[in-house]
Chains A and B, each alone.
Chain A
């Protein structure tokens, strides 16, 4: 395994000391997770962090490597279908990162890009797959999409059945336009990930291929803590969910608020314009749909 020394420094600084207790077990140093009651050896944490850490510029070589790693993960999960019962630690850790970000910024209003991705036709899958197989496939989808969101400076807000909601807050490292472009790249990478990793491995193992739809929009969100759990409140989340219905399977739909802030080259990828009545104001809202991919 290639150890990135920068990662070691990064991941230790984001571990909450109340939750992660540094321990040595069986001669291995690592962290005891007091919530999940598991021990994560340091080298495992480094491996995890290397696979999820955000990257400014991801080269084509790195993308190929990410796809290769994804294929290995998907294949392992498929082989383990009947003993799978819970989320992977990677998903647990990504949820921890999101929760930590929201709690660190609670009661603030922040502009964020919201990315909403769901599986198309998952109801039909229930007819041909056993409950174990279906939950395995959804778990694969959610894990790979979550890793992808994290790679592009996003966080996973929540899983809603067969959908994943991600958010991309403005970061010091990225300008506003860079953030929007980054989110678009993330969406296109998700499509590639579905094609070249998830669907390829599923198909080779006798499972049906998955189709998805992605909606992206930007707007202000309030970070609130409801009970003990942080969440986001704002029109943009429900707007992203609604405009998604305008995207044909395997395509991406953008809200106008994001479309008008991206570069011309990116705009060309969304040639189809449509209108959407905003529930909150009753005004017409433009949306832009990609047309590159067919079902």
Chain B
């Protein structure tokens, strides 16, 4: 089985089941992931329950084809296939119900020798994929009655039942279900955004009532809010991904793959970050990009936002690369830390204090540092947060716009890489977008931070901080 950690986005649902609730209704149109979610939940309760997947006209091979990861826990005896073709007598609702009841009854543990230890008998965890087939010909009273019969049968067996339904409007059994979840989907550009809405989990606190998720590789994976935790106690040196002849690696294998090898040399990347997205998102995305240049002896120039000192950036870079590489191939221009009272402070060579008074003077400093780094390496990365430049030098807006165009042109002709960041409603955003080859956008969706490639439409990812390597990097989950 794919050894994936228990999904934190499903924690409330697991608690709900541990709280001895008996039934959950999952509603959603076809293709929204109802069965995937049900199986994903069931997988985490195998120590106590035995899955009974009741579906129509289904074989074990069909299930494996849809959900290859279920091979470890779904065997033929876990599948109950009911023929519901219209010309077949079993399509009668009551006959389907009888068949389910027989299935459950046959699983009752029978005592054959009263003197040997009772085995821990797994309780039935029923996933009823054909709930709509059962109730389609019934009136609302019969639907309630049928649901009650099934719930009582499950209760008698100490089990749990998940009803899967496509009918989003039918609320007949809402009061009888211990939990209700709706699955829905919407579209962002050409990408799909999936959403789980938790309406009710009896006796269980709901920490997040709307949760984004993906069904990539047939798995139900929720998107977590971005973790800000970086472990500085157990660090490793960054392991780089080599640049290629025509591309610079992003420092993230999955991103490189979507970009067909990485960012093309000589390209300009514009990054739009929406207001509600925390700037911390730069850490898992841009720190690996910068480190990937430095570690391969390529230059990296970071022009940091003036509102915070350079240490706000360098603390995420310096612990993961040698001092020698840092001093030679890294430069950061920005506001220095307040070190007036620290007599022992010696400024590292990679920190270049910016010039606060004039954009043009500061820009000259950018160009100078860029040229110096170029002389030491075969390629150079420059990153700059333009919205803060615009805020700082409001009187020089035109100069800033011109500088963006000139600097982009220079970097493009040198076959280097420029990454510019800005925010909606800033003038720089429009200029930046117009000169860029790739436009990326960070936005928030149900507490999760998403990264969309807007121009061209390569990918939509959820970003999660990944700490396992001993340095910051991102775990990117495809939204599909």
Contacts and interface: CB of A to CB of B under 8 A. Distances in A.
Contacts of B115: 48, 51, 73, 76-77, 88-90, 143
B110 A88 contact: no
Interface string A75-92: 011001001111111101
Contacts of A90: 114-115
Contacts of B72: none
Contacts of A32: 108
Interface string A7-22: 0000000000000000
A276 interface: no
Interface in A6-48: 25-26, 28, 32, 34, 36-41, 44-45, 47-48
A38 B118 contact: yes
Nearest to B109: A38
B116 interface: yes
B87 interface: no
Contacts, number: 79
User: Is the interface on chain B under 10, 10 to 19, 20 to 34, or 35 or more residues?
Assistant: 10 to 19
Interface string A55-90: 000000000000000000100110010011111111
B111 interface: yes
Contacts of A139: 117
Nearest to B118: A86
B118 A89 contact: yes
A84 B108 contact: no
User: Is the interface on chain A under 10, 10 to 19, 20 to 34, or 35 or more residues?
Assistant: 20 to 34
Could you say which of B109, B115, B118, B156 has the most chain A C-beta atoms within 10 Å of its C-beta? B115
Contacts of A84: 116-117
Nearest to A52: B114
B139 to A, nearest CB: 31
A285 interface: no
B109 A77 contact: no
B105 interface: yes
Contact of A41 (B106, B110, B118, B121): B110
B2 interface: no
Given A37-B158, A38-B108, A76 B120 contact: no
B338 interface: no
A93 interface: yes
B119 interface: yes
Of all A-B residue pairs in the complex, the 7 with the closest CB atoms, nearest first, are A84-B117, A48-B114, A89-B114, A86-B118, A73-B115, A40-B111, A90-B114
Given A41-B111, A48-B115, 13 more contacts: A25-B108, A25-B110, A38-B108, A40-B111, A44-B112, A47-B114, A73-B115, A83-B119, A86-B118, A88-B116, A88-B117, A89-B114, A90-B114
16 contacts: A37-B156, A38-B111, A38-B118, A39-B108, A39-B111, A44-B111, A44-B114, A76-B115, A77-B116, A84-B116, A86-B117, A87-B117, A88-B114, A88-B117, A89-B114, A93-B114
Interface of A: 25-26, 28, 32, 34, 36-41, 44-45, 47-48, 51, 73, 76-77, 80, 83-90, 92-93, 139, 143
